[in-house]
A and B are shown apart, each in its own frame.
Chain A
Amino acid sequence: MKRHLLSAADLSRDDAELVLTTADEMRSLADRPIKKLPALRGRTVVNLFFEDSTRTRISFEAAAKRLSADVINFAAKGSSLSKGESLKDTALTLEAMGADAVVVRHGSSGAPHRLAHSGWVRSSVVNAGDGTHEHPTQALLDAFTMWKHLGESKPGGLEGRRVAIVGDVLHSRVARSNALLLRTLGAEVTLVAPPTLFPVGVESWPVETSYDLDGVLPKADAVMMLRVQRERMNGGFFPTPREYSRRYGLDARRMATLQDHTIVMHPGPMVRGMEITADVADSARSVIVEQVTNGVAVRMAVLYLLLGGAEPAVGGEE
């Protein structure tokens, strides 16, 4: 039975389009006086965050609450996890409390998969970012934002659109999930990074790669800048931050080479002055704030489709 969302690759084209159209309906809720729907009344959603996160956790919390679910936030800091409790024991605790869905963020790639397939919990597991592996709901909200700006009226409207994903691809779960999902939706993805920040095996991804940002920008319909994840770096990946931002940062000069309709995206958190300058981040092309708004709608759609019925309407196998 399909009941987890662990990887963007779990989503077929139909699944992805269903999530996007559902998210579109969810977004219209923001214009109503009562921003609440009864779909998940009596269901419990646990936000299990082993890694720091602001926007993803708040976004999932808002999404679950707008669907009337009960939300339990569980952060590693200030819990028994800091006393040395294992993932298994934490999972068994959640199971005993009757969680219907566990939204998990973990520093280790594969932790949500372990949680979903171990038999420790019966709930649906939603991956909210695991290590350097995947972040499928971020990819969905990015695709939703692109569809709203670039797509045709139907959600498959990204066919043939060119998306450049620029920066620290090596440590980015966002890049991997986006590459997989955008491919499913028919877009053409180009990853741009210095040679040291490409992951091993990137040639097997369904993407083009380039070291030359200036060559890629004029052709792109959407440019997604990635944060340089220095907390995951324990070596010299580039000589100096300044050299990095000169070669791979998006500034006003580079922004001027974009096509008129091209949008600038960033999954957040941004480091202004590093991968993106403040004037670009605050420009009319920037849809960064909108990405956050869309995140709530997309996560509502995912939670609704996984938990709203007797069995989920989207997701991976088992």
Chain B
Amino acid sequence: MCAQPSPAQQETPPSSGGRTVLDDRDIARALTRISHEILERNKGAGDLVLLGIPSRGVPLARRIAERIAAVEGDDVPVGSLDVTMYRDDLRLKPARTLMKTEIPPGGVDGKVVVLVDDVLFSGRTIRAALDALNDVGRPAAVRLAVLVDRGHRELPIRADFVGKNLPTSLVERVRLSIAEIDGQDGVRIEGGAQ
């Protein structure tokens, strides 16, 4: 699930309008850099667990794991963490469809968990993710990697690894398309002043 509170933003297909701010090669470079930063910060791939936040955080987490494996030769456990039931706006909307939560077999206790999401916006998704993680186990540390940070935080939350800082206005929408889900890679800004 994306970081934006607007549900329409997730449902509209990645189509016309808006402008592309990152293409597939920009995304690939950003993910490679994030992967190296994670390794540098963690001093290797030991005890790392990558958890993607559905839906688009999950393929991003897999791609980061592939890059880490290519650099270090170690396979990093990858999973997904659905935050739907922990959202603070659960009561305000019709009951949402749940997404997959898959915790790798080794669990998260004592590990360094890197949460991976596509767009960091209000920070509420990440707050929900931290609550969800709390029910799964007790990691040694939790870090946050996002492809795009668009600002406008509503909670004291910040990302450790950022693909691109993208100053936006509140009326704009940031849409990530990803090959595994949408058929192609790209980040677009839609809406707002054209």
| Residues on A facing B (Cβ under 8 Å) | 18, 21-22, 25-26, 28, 32-34, 36-39, 304-313
**Category for how many chain B residues contact A:** 20 to 34
| Residues on B facing A (Cβ under 8 Å) | 82, 85-86, 90-103, 131, 135-137
B96 / chain A contacts, CB cutoff of 8 Å: 308-309, 313
CB–CB B97/A18 < 8 A: yes
Bound Cα distance A33, B93 (Å): 29
CB–CB A305/B95 < 8 A: yes
B92 / chain A contacts, CB cutoff of 8 Å: 309-310
Q: Shortest 4 CB-CB distances between A and B: which pairs?
A: A309-B95, A308-B95, A313-B95, A39-B85
If the complex has contacts A308-B85, A310-B91, are A22 and B97 also in contact, measured as CB distance less than 8 A?
yes
B100 / chain A contacts, CB cutoff of 8 Å: 25
Query: What is the distance, in angstroms, from B128's C-beta to the closest C-beta of chain A?
Result: 10
CB–CB A309/B131 < 8 A: no
A308 / chain B contacts, CB cutoff of 8 Å: 85, 90, 95-96
Query: What is the distance, in angstroms, from A10's C-beta to the closest C-beta of chain B?
Result: 16
Chain A interface helix/strand/loop/mixed: loop
Query: What is the distance, in angstroms, from B177's C-beta to the closest C-beta of chain A?
Result: 24
Contact of A310 among B82, B94, B101 (CB under 8 A): B94
A29's nearest neighbour on chain B, judged by CB, is B101
A31's nearest neighbour on chain B, judged by CB, is B103
A306 / chain B contacts, CB cutoff of 8 Å: 95
Bound Cα distance A173, B101 (Å): 35
CB–CB A32/B103 < 8 A: yes
A309 / chain B contacts, CB cutoff of 8 Å: 90-96
Bound Cα distance A307, B136 (Å): 24
B96's nearest neighbour on chain A, judged by CB, is A309
A304 / chain B contacts, CB cutoff of 8 Å: 85, 95, 98
Query: What is the distance, in angstroms, from B180's C-beta to the closest C-beta of chain A?
Result: 17
- Beyond the given A25-B101, A28-B102, A309-B96, please list 18 additional residue pairs across the A-B interface where CB-CB is below 8 A: A25-B99, A33-B135, A33-B136, A34-B136, A37-B85, A38-B85, A38-B86, A39-B85, A307-B95, A308-B85, A308-B95, A309-B91, A309-B93, A310-B91, A312-B95, A313-B95, A313-B96, A313-B97
